């Protein structure tokens, strides 16, 4: 029996991941680091109030690290604030986790992530991936989903429009760029964490979908 440590449990993928992990018999404890409490409870679920600006390594406990942490530039308020969440918080927590003995990590990145991208969002995602690779986890799984489908707590009109066109015209969209259900990304994270051998793996959006059929 294992303990999963999750950061980013309140987001679209994080919520699905947490709900699936508490039902997974391979785990007896699901520990989530949160800024505000999650709206659901479960005997396996342990919510730890955590300030990413003042990280406490004593609260980093578990066997595997799942990261669904992320924001948008609009929500963060600036590019600097966005990078603080999507790079600093993630890399700092991963570093502490590795130092505390967690040797496996699965992280949600984004389609198009590349450190040399001219798109700021994609560049930060690429920078984060590169920094995590340098930490030398025994197993590092990076998922790059395309547009996410699912029920968000907040309304994002651009994503609603994108989801409509992505589903309505999916026949004309290459598999790599098709919208994907958040719950499928969460399922893939758990499957890959429990089947992947040591090494670093990057799954594009179409590969995430394909892996669920294996």
CATH of the domain at 186: 3.40.50.720
Q: Residue written as tokens 């003995």?
A: 101
pLDDT in tens, 83-115: 999 999 999 999 999 999 999 999 999 999 999
**152 in a structural domain:** no
pLDDT of 170: 47
What pLDDT is attached to residue 152? 53
131 phi and psi, to 5 degrees?
A: -65, -40
Q: In this structure, is residue 96 part of a structural domain?
A: yes
Q: Would you state the structure tokens that stand for residue 97, as one six-digit string? A: 């986790």
Task: Name the strand (E) or helix (H) holding 52.
Answer: none
Query: What b/e readout covers 50-60, taking b as 16+ CB neighbours within 10 angstroms?
Result: bebeebeeeeb
Spans of the chain below 70 pLDDT = 150-177
Q: Is residue 167 part of a domain?
A: no
| Residue 159 domain-assigned (yes or no) | no
pLDDT at 66: 98
pTM of the model: 0.88
Does 211 map to a domain?
no
pLDDT value at position 149?
Answer: 86
Structural domain of 130: 2-147+181-206
The count of structural domains within the chain is: 1
Position 177 scores a pLDDT of: 58
DSSP SS3 for 34: strand
CB atoms within 10 A of CB 74: 10
| Best CA proximity match to 208, nearest among 181, 168, 169 | 181
Is 175 part of any domain? no
Is residue 154 assigned to a domain?
A: no
């Amino acid at each position: 029996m294992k303990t999963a440590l999750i950061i980013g449990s309140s987001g679209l993928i994080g919520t699905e991941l947490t709900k699936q992990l508490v039902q997974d018999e391979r785990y007896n404890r699901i520990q989530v680091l949160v800024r505000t409490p999650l709206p659901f409870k479960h005997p396996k679920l342990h919510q730890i109030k955590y300030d990413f600006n003042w990280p406490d390594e004593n609260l980093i406990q578990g066997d595997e690290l799942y990261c669904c942490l992320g924001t948008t530039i609009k929500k963060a308020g600036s590019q600097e604030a966005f990078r603080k969440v999507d790079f600093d918080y993630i890399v700092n927590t991963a570093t502490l986790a590795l130092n505390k003995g967690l040797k496996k990590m699965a992280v949600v990145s984004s389609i198009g992530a590349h450190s040399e991208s001219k798109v700021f969002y994609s560049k930060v995602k690429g920078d984060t991936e590169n920094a995590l690779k340098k930490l030398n986890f025994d197993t590092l799984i990076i998922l790059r989903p395309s547009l996410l489908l699912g029920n968000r707590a907040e309304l994002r009109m651009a994503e609603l429009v994108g989801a409509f066109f992505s589903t309505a015209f999916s026949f004309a969209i290459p598999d790599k760029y098709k919208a994907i259900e958040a719950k499928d990304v969460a399922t893939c994270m758990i499957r890959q964490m429990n089947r992947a051998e040591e090494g670093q793996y990057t799954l594009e959006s179409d590969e995430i979908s394909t892996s669920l059929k294996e």
